Amino acid sequence: MKFYCLKEELADALNNVSKATNSANNIEILRGIKLEAKEGLTLYATNLEISIKCTIEANVTEPGETVLDARMFSDIIRKSDDGPINIEINDKNEATIYTSKNKFNIAGISAEEFPKFPDVYSSYVLTFESKEFKDIVRDTAFAAAQDESRPILTGVKFEVGKNELKLVSIDGYRMAIRKMPIKEQEEEFSFIVKGRILNEVLKILRDDETEVEVSLSNNSVVFKFENTVIVSSLMGGEYINYEQFIPKEKKFSIKMDRRLITQTVERASIIINYDDSRLPIILDIDGGVMCVDCVSKKGNFHEEIEIEQTSDTLCIGLGSKFFLDALKASSNDNIIMEFNTERSPLVIRPTEGDEFFYMVLPREFKR
């Protein structure tokens, strides 16, 4: 195999496909990236849970394929001079990588045992702008469970309606729901994708108007954009009936500037971050003032925020990280915070519409 390509394009492709590799994998070939040179150069990587391929332009004089260690190959390309990169692979899968000023010789592996990239037969196709898809996924996936004790909760549920897409995640302590309008669909359907897979997709997507195609194929979800294809297995099983946890009533609500309350909670979190993350942020609402407090062995914090006058009083404890995650995910600076009792969850909504819904369970505290 023999070809040359531009360093910048190769480095970008390697950065994308490397998201599917793990240098600690016990299977040697899965620590590598497959190079396939034909009309152009296609890079493949997989950890058997997520598979990624990326195709770039290359001048191929001798077609072929091989597998190179992902970490070493990426480091070599990143440190090489700008401009054309030449790569030659001999019959023993020994690679020579060189520019006009430097040359590397590294051992490769036969590509025969590299897992076949999944066949893609797309159905139920959805199309987005890259930034809008990143936003809705990022603003939901953070609430997916990290604990595998209830595997289904590690996923994010996509509910596709006639004209609306809804994403839902819940981990037992909080819930996130985001909605967005979509082009009219012939059928309504739903599927579940692992949260950590979505987080890897987010790392690759651009913050621009690049078209992203999301589709289903043979119990897999497929993400296509520009020169990249990502395939991952869908999660099986029934998602939790999350609607049963949405509060049916509220005692009172407060209109709030999201930026203001976020900055206050970030200040309070300084005390928690240097002590015990389980310590709660305490919201004490009385009349036209909401006091935000935090008390720990290493210090305490107090701040008062003026709010709309209310005849209701309430003192509630909240986990600072969960509270902050919900505030930062809210896509509108004008929010409504809904309360019931100190043992009931806090709900955050927009002042108008239903674009987002965040719910955080309370945390006990000593008065």
DSSP letters, 148-207, are: TTSGGGGEEEEEE-SSEEEEEEE-SSEEEEEEEE----SS-EEEEEEHHHHHHHHHHS-S
Residue 25: per-residue pLDDT:
87
For residue 165, which of 202, 196, 197, 139 has the smallest C-alpha distance? 139
Residue 234: per-residue pLDDT:
96
In degrees rounded to 5, what are phi and psi of residue 65? -155, 155
pLDDT digits (tens, 9 = 90+) for 149-189: 899 999 999 999 999 999 999 999 999 999 999 999 989 99
Residue 367: per-residue pLDDT:
66
Structure tokens given for 59:
């001048």
Structure tokens given for 312:
């209701």
Q: Which residue do the tokens 């986990």 mark?
A: 319
Quick one: which H or E segment has residue 294? strand 289-296
Residue 307: per-residue pLDDT:
93
- Terminal-to-terminal C-alpha distance of the chain: 72
CA–CA gap between residue 3 and residue 283 (Å, rounded): 63
The structure's pTM equals 0.92
Q: Which residues pair with 170 in a beta bridge?
A: 175
Residue 8: per-residue pLDDT:
96
Output the CA–CA distances (angstroms, integers) from residue 147 to 20, 50, 154, 322, in the order listed.
Answer: 21, 20, 7, 15
Let me know: does 349 contact 338? Beta carbons within 8 Å.
Answer: yes
Return the C-alpha torsion angle 222, 224, 228, 230, nearest 10. Answer: -10
For residue 74, which of 117, 43, 40 has the smallest C-alpha distance? 43
For residue 20, which of 68, 69, 53, 67 has the smallest C-alpha distance? 53
Residue 258: per-residue pLDDT:
97
Residue 339: per-residue pLDDT:
96
CA 131 to chain centre: 13
CA 19 to chain centre: 12
The angle formed by the CA atoms of residues 62, 65 and 66, to the nearest 5 degrees, is: 125
Residue 196: per-residue pLDDT:
94
Q: Which domains are seen in the chain, by residue range? A: 2-113 (3.10.150.10), 123-242 (3.10.150.10), 248-360 (3.10.150.10)
Residue 156: per-residue pLDDT:
98
Point out the residues of the chain with pLDDT beneath 50: none
